[in-house]
Amino acid sequence: MSAWALVVAAGRGERAALGKNKVLHAVNGESVLRRCLRALEESGLFDGCVLVLAACDRAAYEALCASEGRSALVKCLAEGGQTRQQSVYNGLRSLPETAEIVAIHDAARPFVTTDILRRSIELARATGSGVACAEVVDTIKAIGEDGRVTTLDRSRLRAAQTPQTFRRAEILAAHARAQAEGWQATDDADLYERHFGRVTLFTAPDSPANIKLTTKEDFMRLGSDTFRIGAGFDAHRLVEGRPLVLCGVEVPSPLGLDGHSDADVAVHALMDAILGALGEGDIGRHFPDDDEEYRGVFSMLLLARVMRLVSERGFRVANADITIVAQRPRLSPYIEEMRLNIAEALGVQSDCANVKATTTERMGYEGRGEGLSAQAVVLLTKGSV
Ligand code: MG
């Protein structure tokens, strides 16, 4: 018995506030729509798919197909309507007569599993409908018109998801009647139930994962689609009569680092790493050492400016790791304070900033006590929205 998918991708996704159709948005390098179609395709359960798209998204869809590849499952595009119900109706009318079963699915649920799809189809074959649902985990309160609150029995509640699978001819009849009689429903199960009187719901072990990407936060939770890595290195000479400032911490020492600013070699390496990740050159370009403004400046203040650049570019720091190379003084008593300083400046949890110190076993300029050097590596991420 031939089974088709009807994928609804015609929503405006206004609650996601992405400035475009949310399902055309990439999450971890793949559009939500492509991911959804891939899940359907890989299930091996469908003979074809009708994709319902708003006319204004056709060009963006074609561009996605050009970059991500075209799903072989999609046999036909249907035009979206003013409402989801209208979009589904348009899609149903585009299905071939040979399609006996149709799984109506929202493109914004890209994590649907083969098990859920299979159960849905099997129930539709056996009973006429198979509507994916999730158990309700929150306690649901109903507010009456008089403001009185009733707590509902959670064990009797289900949150309807998609796929919602039916016999094609039957759900088409239910939609046609809804059209004729002016019914408005938010899902197809509702229309089916009004027309046929009973609908079959099911929950599956995977139901909690079959989430609908709705808000901006849903997209952000899915992680980032851009990573940038940067490396930085700096060295300064040790001289008398200067403080030794490392990661913003003044370390007691007879010698300090020479330089135009406070010569915080560790923060300089870190800033270069961040600027490198942003493709923004180096600190010499941003804070020239012949500029009087930066004479003796506390480098942590410059780091704050670099961090402003990071956020202006839509990035945030995922983690940073700094290595300070110094034969002396012993830095271990100050490392934790340095780390907390850096974590705060970068706006990350303390375990996402690391500062460590090493010697060179008396080799080289650090080993001879002529100077200190520092290296830094940083990872920047950009949210997918
Ligand atoms: Mg420097």
**Is the pLDDT at 116 greater than 50, yes or no?**
yes
Distance of CA 64 from the midpoint of ligand 1 (Å): 45
What pLDDT, on a 0 to 100 scale, did the predictor assign at position 66?
A: 86
CA of 268 to the centre of ligand 1 (A): 5
Give pTM, 2 decimals: 0.64
Residue 326 Cα to ligand 1 midpoint, Å, equals 15
Kindly tell me if the per-residue pLDDT of 28 is higher than 80: no
- C-alpha 211/C-alpha 364 separation (Å) is 57
Q: For residue 384, what pLDDT is reported?
A: 47
Q: What is the Å distance from ligand 1's center to 228 Cα? A: 22
Kindly give the distance from the C-alpha atom of residue 372 to the centroid of ligand 1, in angstroms, as a whole number: 10
Structure confidence at residue 19 (pLDDT): 65
Within its chain, how far is the Cα of 219 from the centroid? 4
Question: 60-69, 99-108, 321-330: which has the minimum mean pLDDT?
Answer: 60-69
Which run of H or E residues covers position 382?
strand 371-383
Neighbours of ion ligand 1 (CB under 5 A): 234, 268
d(CA 284, ligand 1 centre) in Å: 9
Share of the chain above pLDDT 70, in %: 96
Determine the distance separating the centroid of ligand 1 and the alpha carbon of 285, expressed in angstroms. Answer: 12
Span from the CA of 381 to the centroid of ligand 1 (angstroms): 25
272 C-alpha vs ligand 1 centroid, how far in Å? 9
Alpha carbon distance 226, 109 (integer Å): 22
Q: Is the torsion defined by CA of 187, 190, 192, 195 positive or negative?
A: negative
Averaged pLDDT score across all residues of the chain:
92
Residue range 143-165: mean pLDDT, rounded: 96
Does the pLDDT value for residue 17 go beyond 70? no
The dihedrals phi and psi of 191, each to the nearest 5 degrees, come to -65, -45
Percent of the chain surpassing pLDDT 90: 80
The rounded Å distance from CA 332 to ligand 1 centre is 22
Q: Ligand 1 mean position to 349 CA, how many Å?
A: 26
| Tokens representing residue 9 in the block | 């991708």
Compute the distance from residue 290 Cα to the ligand 1 centre, in Å. Answer: 13
Q: From the CA of 265, how far away is ligand 1's center (Å)?
A: 5
Model confidence band, residue 16 (pLDDT cutoffs 50, 70, 90): low
Ligand 1 geometric centre to CA of 310 (Å): 20
What distance in angstroms lies between residue 271's CA and the mean position of ligand 1's atoms?
10
Amino acid at 176: A
